Structure 1
């Protein structure tokens, strides 16, 4: 007997929108292993990355002035391969969506069931696996605060450093491995310190993501129509790529995002955009504060890493636009400008007020006009 929605059995069990186990296995199957290394070379790289991850924390503390960097014992650092990164992110995505699915199962079970039927968990699991596979070969590192919500997960989250990707890029750029690895660790460890300095931030982001996913999933009655529109957009832009053309401007990503974003979601999107810009920009400012006394070849690394984006194929550029990665790149730039402007005017101590509570987070408008944030915080240089 089906008791999924029976009141006598407590809260409804939400039907799966995505088969996350299938997503993880699909990603692992599709993702190439990366550079070919001997067992000894792999172990040496893992040991080296772990040591440099530890070394980088002291520099993050010195640059940011955040005392949270002095004690990160409740979080962990993992050196992983591509398949492990994909599996970890599949679990994190599942955790992030659980609150929204639970709320929908309790309040709007018919709409959730309709959405699950329209999507099909097996199909979406395969599609998510393909997305994770693409990302698994690109991501150098990632701080995952939501790992704390996994059974037995570290209370402070975990930092994942994807060794094959770091090694592949350092080989491609022909840079000094020790220097490049420390440079990458500085950025990723900054994210770890951010969440340690603002322990409320994980729950705040989870609430925002839950609100957004609940709102989108609740529109199940139009989901089929929007998916058909999305497929038309994909087909059109894919033909351009197949013909050796770049999809016009940002129309592909923009169209897809607009199909799944209504007036109700725009405010949440705006807030999450501002938060991500802050986090990524702050981490980039820390990287840029490092000079040759710490990373001897840092100038060469910056030049070659920044120039790398100009050599992407039309296919990769299309996929990046489709998945919003170009927007993420802009977040790095916009966020860094905000952080530098604030620090220039009121110093790092004044900027660090941003980590005290959710109300101190900048809005998207303030990211582009730092003076507005400074005024709202009633801050001025002593």
Structure 2
């Protein structure tokens, strides 16, 4: 059936112009309009910090490669040092590429449709919020060698808040983000692994809503009884519980991978040591205290909705896993983790690293 209300879909039904994917171009514009500019600084301070961050990203590559034993001989692309609006624009472009084909069809003329524009405004508001917290980010899905982003106003805001040496803090941040680039450069399969999990999350299972609601109710009861494993709290755990099994597996894959990547990056930041970052102990102590700081009620709500508390748990659990395995078998044998999907740590192994060592290394 066809008509003015919509275009036909492959099943013979009608596609509504209200549907469609997220309008990521509108999301970028909305986010840039809503975002706060960041801490006050002179043009000289901004330019000097931008130049120093770019240089720190280049410098960080060598100690990261030495500590990890990864990416030897691979190119060292320049970092993109941006303001908050620049991060929003890059993030929206990346999300558009990552989710291409997953959001349904657009309107008759190929645009996202009214629903896509509404979703774009909502996504833009989320990006505006996130852009105030991101210090840096490695995006494996854009550019020939991925894109390393560093957000100048956020780095300056945090270093001022922590009262740490700016030069050391900027290098410390770069060590973390460069480690992510080294991870993906050394294991090119990681990007496809992530993309396949995202693709699976976007599939329509056709499952009755009542089934999903039943699983969600059961999970809420588990949480009321305190039967929730570490790192499973917040909205991410609830979303996972409501999904069909293939989607739950995809969320599990992404969570376990994120825990490994973030924990490994935190381990490398500290392993580089005071020879490269003289005040690393002070920075780590101040930064961890900042992570533990109790947020305001609004921040708590936003953190729960965006899964930020789960991400903080990833740093802690992931670093403990990497610290334990490297301490037991050394970095060279630990690097077996980057062999393929089958060597990634499983849920139980994150908190019991010896089980991963036994399974993977024998």
TM-score category, normalised to shorter length? 0.7 to 0.9
Match of 2:65 among 53, 61, 64: 61
Give the match for residue 228 of structure 2: none
Q: Is the counterpart of residue 87 in structure 1 residue 89 in structure 2?
A: yes
Change (3 A) 1:42 1:337: same
Partner in structure 2 of residue 290 of structure 1: 272
Q: Match of 1:98, SS?
A: coil
Equivalent residue number for residue 44 of structure 1: 48
On the 8 A contact 1:271/1:364 being kept in 2, the answer is no
**More helix, by proportion:** 1
Aligned to 1:150: none
Name the CA distance, whole Å, in 2 between partners of 1:251 and 1:200.
Answer: 29
Where does residue 267 of structure 1 map in the other structure?
Answer: 249
**2-side partners of 1:69 and 1:128: how far apart?**
38
1:334 aligns with 2:317: yes
- Quote how far apart the aligned CAs of 1:183 are: 0.6
Q: CA deviation at 1:266?
A: 1.4
Q: Does 2:263 align with 1:281?
A: yes
Contact 2:236 2:310 in 1 (8 A): no
Contact conserved, 1:280 with 1:335, CA < 8 A, in 2? yes
What is the CA–CA distance in structure 2 between the aligned matches of 1:70 and 1:184, rounded to whole Å?
A: 23
Q: Which residue of 2 aligns with 1:253?
A: 235
1:354 pairs with 2:337: yes
Q: Deviations over 1:262-321 (max 9, x none)?
A: 333211111111111110000000012132222122222112111123152221122111
Which of structure 1's runs of 4+ aligned residues deviate more than 3 A?
Answer: 1-7, 218-223, 249-252
1:368 maps to 2:314: no
SS in 2 for 1:137: coil
CA contact (8 A) 2:233 2:310 kept: no
Q: Distance in 2 between matches of 1:306 and 1:333?
A: 10
Moved more, 284-293 or 273-282: 284-293
| Larger displacement relative to structure 2 (319-328 or 351-360) | 351-360
Tell me the residue number matched to 2:127: 132
- Which consecutive residues of structure 2, in runs of 5 or more, have no partner in the other structure? 107-111, 221-230
| Number of the residue aligned with 1:23 | 27
> Bigger shift: 79-88 or 299-308?
299-308
5+ residue gaps, structure 1: 110-115, 148-153, 234-248
- Relative to 1, partners in 2 of residues 1:24 and 1:261: Cα closer, same or farther, differing over 3 Å? same
Report the TM-score, using the length of structure 1 for normalisation: 0.79
Do the aligned residues in 2 keep the contact of 1:72 with 1:196 (CA within 8 Å)? no
Structure 1 residue 205 displacement after superposition: 0.9
> In the aligned structure 1, how far is the partner of 2:100 from the partner of 2:196?
11
- CA distance 1:254–1:46, shift in 2 (3 Å): closer
In the alignment, the residues of structure 2 paired with residue 306 and residue 25 of structure 1 have an alpha-carbon distance, to the nearest angstrom, of 33
1:176 to 165, 168, 192: 165
TM-score, normalised relative to structure 2: 0.83
Distance 1:278 1:53 in 2: 22
